Structure 1
Amino acid sequence: MLQNVLRVACMGVWLAGATVASAQEAVPTPADIYGELFKDVQLNAVFPDSKSFTDALPNRPPERILSEYRQLKGQPGFDLKKFVAERFSPPPNVASDFHTVAGQDVRHHIDALWKVLERKPEDQREYTSRIALPYRYIVPGGRFNEIYYWDSYFTMQGLEESGRHDLTMDMIANFGWLIDQFGHIPNGNRSYFLSRSQPPFFAAMIELAADEEGESVYKKYLPQLIREYQFWMDGASALKPGSSHRRVVKLADGTVLNRYYDDRNVPREEAYKEDVATAKVAGSPEIYRNLRAAAESGWDFSSRWFAGKELATIHTTDLIPPDLNSLLYQLERTIAKGCEVTADTSCAKEMKGKAEARKAAITKYLWNTKAGAFTDYDWRAKKLSPQVTAATVYPLYFNAASKEQGKAVATTVRTTLLKPHGVATTTVSSGEQWDAPNGWAPLQWLAIKGLKNYGEEQLAATIAQRWVGKNLQVFKATGKLVEKYDVLSDQAGGGGEYPLQDGFGWTNGVLRKLLAMYPKLAE
């Protein structure tokens, strides 16, 4: 049975008496380390970007800095910005100084850029919030100088096309290591990310690797796949109908589905002043957890999570999303595959059963017949969201939709989300970055491949043509590939908590993959 496999998988991972929780708590965050200095720096906007201080590098031991702050802060003429500038170096802006070769083919540009975005174990610095990883990895670029969980799956699509399978495997090994250390893959390898994960693409990464590695990769990473599943399903067996625990919800009829969550209910350290400001408007003690849960979703932020029209109405933990549950369907199927490879027939049967039950539940609770799309389900209000978003393509990508649903989603994408330069994230223009008019590389890839899975080749090709065209237009004009794009106009993407970033990991990966699938688009 799965429980027996899980017990074996966990043996030898932890030192005597250690737990996942204690492992997380053993890694102090910047707020833990700097106390009142951290709050004062963030609330007084010493850095224009709140993430800068969480990633800054101190030039002396933190305890000494904090002691000096306590001694000096009450003195006449104390200058907080000067104090910080003398003791910290701001984090680098990754790839900002990378110069594009004039007239260079974008594929050669991407291949060269991987070296700029690559980080090695020896790159680790003392007193940093970044958690050292044992193998090489790719960072997105710009302000993002750490590995990100779901970004990496889309980055890997391009690495494979660039002949960098070795780097794909190193990144997968890092994720396996993180599961062994902390019981899950955090949002990124920063201490302040340990309380949450991101969309669980680890199983999809293993499936991608199997194209080169063969079925042995399922056996190698089966213990980590099972442990990630345990993280997402924690508390499910003890739940009563109509209740929730962490990332699991048990509905009134006993159906178990998942939501995004975060184990902490305090301001995000990398967006501290922004979250404090939002909380003042909201007046809700749970606002921080809902903001953090949206960060776990990767869609930080989007009107799909709002009860009203503004960020202060966010209620992410009330919503059961089709994207997350499609990913967990894939995880259940991948564990079943691993159990088959290891000849554990009882485990394989059990996990196939769980996957089929989830597939049925996705249709029962997340299929919105009126919208012709998979939409979020508010489990507290017991109703489907009417809002159509690009998350509707996830069940197609992971083959969790029926043929009829696939056809309906194609119609909805074509009539509602398809824009001149690709698929819009939502139909709402809220000023948040995961809303219209922005389009994002991962959602284009999921839509294209998902539609192809259901025989919608022409629509998939149209999306690819429009998205690649936009990427190349901006690249030819600026020499840059950026984080997100405006799919309605000729402008670059915008909105959100920080300026548009260039680099950019998942844009590079998806574009490199699409140009291999549709080579004529490069002409």
Structure 2
Amino acid sequence: MNRRAPAFALHPALAALLLGSLCGCVPTAAQRENAPATTGVHAPDATPDLAYPALFAAVQHAELFDDQKTFADARPLRDPAGIDADFLEKRDAPGFDLMGFVQANFDIPAQVATAEVKVGRTLAAHIDGLWPRLTRTDPAPLPYDSRLPLRRSYVVPGGRFREMYYWDSYFTMLGLIESGERERARDMLANFAALIDEYGHIPNGARTYYLSRSQPPYFSHMVELEARTDGDDVYRRYLPQLRREYAFWMRGAERLAPGQASRRVVRLADGSVLNRYWDDRDTPRPEAWLHDVRTAASAPDRPAPDVFRELRAGAESGWDYSSRWLGDRKTLGTIRTTQYAPVDLNSLMHHLETTIALACRKAAQPDCAREFDDRAAKRAAALSMHLWNADGFYADYDIERRQVSAQVTAAALYPLFAGIASPQRAKLTALAVRAQLLQPGGLLTTTLRTGQQWDAPNAWAPLQWVAVEGLDRYGEAALAREIATNFLREVQRVFDARHKLVEKYDATGQAHGGGGEYPLQDGFGWTNGVVRALLVRYPEAQSQRAP
């Protein structure tokens, strides 16, 4: 729904934060040096908040749209600098209509529509019918669009998420393959490789305003998925992109002394090298501008750019947001994402290292294979040493406080997913997960109810898949099956009641998934993918009930 806003005076506290954030929007010399090499409309400084800063801030502050992402995705119909100059000239005129100005100068995007449910359709059949609705092909975005060009077709999550996303897409690809849509999965892998070639990394999503950060690195898993059917040539073909993604995450590692951190890498006091989440900018996220400004205002003792950086790093984690990243485990203003070496990220980096080693062997590069085998072994040792809680589960390492987290989360299963865990630790982790996270509707994300979407009571499809895969790998088939069937039962319950699949679910089965900074979204890419794959693994869970 759109709102008219005839006036838009800033609250003094927000005005001070806005002034500071706008002054910090121009990249510093260091940021320009480290920014991906791009040109033209898709350069890092072409994000909407920089292309027309005065208008962007006014629209987001006035809350003209229910979702802050709407205006971030709106496409200027003419030169953005000219629009901003026109706004500055006209905004103080009597009767100036901000919404009218926006509508005259921008193409406002709609939510992604999904198909109607056909009576009698199973979940699997419904998902198979959704893929064409969620598929996009737009190799050359129109002028001034914030979308990044993608050469091949891709699947969007749905709802407010109109573009291709990084880690979402791996779980979407699982379902595409099971639906017989292997070519769509191949296209998405090729798109991600092209993004690495163009920008030096895979951005959070295919928008200019996502270029300053990535997401959990699943590219090596995508390559592995494709290689299962297309053979070893897949590893050889994508070896350059695998290595370049690794270089992005490890940039600056060689210069770190023990106890130092830089961007996405940290060297612990004992010399161990681990990764953390980061973002190259320290301003409000364009897609959640007012949320971030208000969060910074709620933490007056912290410099606003520090809060913005931590919020952006939390967005790179994919867990935006969770008590995992909060200093007091409950208040968003205490967020400190960059002070953790996360167990999921470092498990995924281990898989990236082992995949590069494998690809190097396939490409007859023995020195490279030995190097990355060694890197993977060292990371596994560091993870075992620093990311294991003696109470019996894997957890994040607090870099600043030099201690492992005491919080049990669904991320504890990533070392099992990556094959890093010892059999004994895998068994202990399974016991902790069963005791603290298992619910009638699947696996809880955390045990804490904070109002954030990556906390209780929510159950997320990708975490169910990671849990099932990891537990099966270590012989915990009964728990894996229980998590999968519980989650599928909850998905079916919501499908029967609401005739759709959604972004997240309530693991208790007592309500619908919620929390966070936007409403529950329909669609939904990674839910479709995981559910489709789980139904193949556990066919007895498929219901024949009509909606």
- Give the TM-score normalised by the residue count of structure 1: 0.94
Distance of 1:183 and 1:86 partners within structure 2: 36
Aligned partner of residue 221 in structure 1, secondary structure: helix
Corresponding residue of 1:353: 374
The answer to whether the Cα contact below 8 Å between 2:128 and 2:179 also exists between their aligned partners in 1 is: yes
- After TM superposition, the structure 1 = structure 2 runs for residues 77-476 of structure 1, keeping only pairs within 5 Å, are 77-96=95-114, 98-122=115-139, 124-283=141-300, 284-285=302-303, 286-308=306-328, 309-370=330-391, 372-476=392-496
CA contact (8 A) 2:37 2:198 kept: no
Are the structure 2 counterparts of residues 122 and 352 from structure 1 closer, same or farther at C-alpha, using a change threshold of 3 Å?
closer
Q: Which residue of 1 aligns with 2:38?
A: 23
For 1:220 and 1:53, locate their aligned partners in 2 and report how far apart those are by CA, in whole Å.
Answer: 39
- 1:409 partner amino acid: T
The CA deviation string for residues 72-124 of structure 1, in whole angstroms up to 9 with x for no partner, is 1110121212221232232121125x211112111111111100000113573
Please tell me whether the aligned partners of residues 298 and 333 of structure 2 are also in contact (alpha carbons under 8 angstroms): yes
Q: How far apart, CA to CA, are the structure 2 residues paired with 1:19 and 1:492?
A: 42
Task: Output one character per residue of 1:344-382: Cα deviation in whole Å (capped at 9) or x when no partner.
Answer: 111101100110110011110001111x11111111111
Aligned mates of 2:529, 2:458 — CA distance in 1 = 18
Aligned equivalents of 1:138, 1:26: Cα separation in 2: 24
Whether the aligned pair in 2 keeps the contact of 1:157 and 1:513 (CA below 8 Å) is: yes
Q: Mean alpha-carbon deviation: is it higher for 87-96 or for 188-197?
A: 87-96
Partner SS for 1:267: coil
Partner of residue 64, structure 2? 46
Q: Is the 8 A contact 1:323 1:391 kept in 2?
A: yes
Instruction: Give the Cα–Cα distance (whole angstroms) in 1 for the partners of residues 162 and 312 of structure 2.
Output: 20
Q: Which range is displaced more, 32-41 or 78-87?
A: 78-87
CA distance in 2, matches of 1:446, 1:240: 34
RMSD: 1.3
Unaligned runs of at least 5 residues, structure 1: 1-17
Matched, 1:496 2:513: no
Whether 1:63 and 2:49 are equivalent positions in the alignment is no
Distance, in Å, in 2 between the alignment partners of 1:488 and 1:66 is 48
* 1:267-302 deviations in Å (ceiling 9; x for gaps): 111100110111111232311110000000000000
Change (3 A) 1:123 1:181: closer
Instruction: Name the CA shift for 1:263/1:45 in 2 (closer, same or farther; >3 Å).
Output: same
Aligned length: 504
2:195 and 2:525 map into 1 onto residues whose CA distance is 20
- Aligned-residue offset at 1:20: 5.3
3-state SS in 2 of match to 1:282: coil
- Read off the aligned partner of 2:92 and give its amino acid letter: G
How far apart, CA to CA, are the structure 2 residues paired with 1:240 and 1:353?
A: 20
**CA deviation after TM superposition for structure 1 residue 33, in Å:** 1.0
Using the alignment, how far apart are the partners of 1:205 and 1:264 within structure 2? Answer: 28
Deviations, residues 438-469 of structure 1 (Å, cap 9, x unaligned): 00000000001110000000111111110001
- Whether the 8 Å CA contact 2:139–2:152 is kept in 1: the answer is no
Distance 1:65 1:517 in 2: 53
* Cα distance in 1 for residues equivalent to 2:511 and 2:317: 26
Amino acid at match of 1:357: K
Distance 2:88 2:477 in 1: 64
2:343 partner letter: P
Asked whether the 8 Å contact 2:139–2:150 carries over to 1, the reply is no
Give the distance between the partners of 2:455 and 2:140, measured in 1 at CA. Answer: 35
Which amino acid is 1:70 matched to? Answer: L
Q: Which amino acid in the other structure matches residue 500 of structure 1? A: L
Q: Which amino acid aligns with 2:83?
A: I
Q: Partners of 2:418 and 2:225 in 1: how far apart?
A: 13
Give the SS at the match of 2:274: strand
What is the alpha-carbon distance in structure 2 between the residues aligned to residue 449 and residue 488 of structure 1? 22
Deviation at 1:26, TM superposition (A): 2.3
SS at match of 2:412: helix
The aligned residue for residue 6 of structure 1 is: none
Structure 2 unaligned residues grouped into runs of 5+: 1-32
Task: Give the CA deviation at 1:490.
Answer: 3.1
**Partner Cα distance (2:149, 2:184) in 1:** 17
In 1, Cα distance between equivalents of 2:327 and 2:107: 40
Q: Is the 8 A contact 1:20 1:181 kept in 2?
A: no
**Which segment drifts farther, 381-390 or 64-73?**
64-73
How far off is 1:417 after superposition? 0.3
Would you say the 8 A contact 2:140–2:150 is kept in 1?
no
SS in 2 for 1:257: strand
Deviation readout 1:359-414 (Å, 9 max, x if unpaired): 011110001111x1111111111111111100001110110110011101110111
Given that 1:20 and 1:183 are in contact with CA atoms closer than 8 Å, whether structure 2 keeps it comes out as no
Structure 1 counterpart of 2:21: none
- Aligned partner of 1:477: which letter? A
For residues 425 and 108 of structure 2, what CA distance do their matches in structure 1 show? 49
Deviates more, 1:54-63 or 1:26-35: 54-63
Mapped partners of 1:58, 1:435: distance in 2: 37
Deviation by residue 1:54-81 (Cα, 9 ceiling, x = unmatched): 1012333323322321221110121212
SS at match of 1:360: helix
**CA distance in 1 between partners of 2:358 and 2:36 (Å):** 29
- Segment of structure 1 superposing worse, 83-92 or 196-205: 83-92
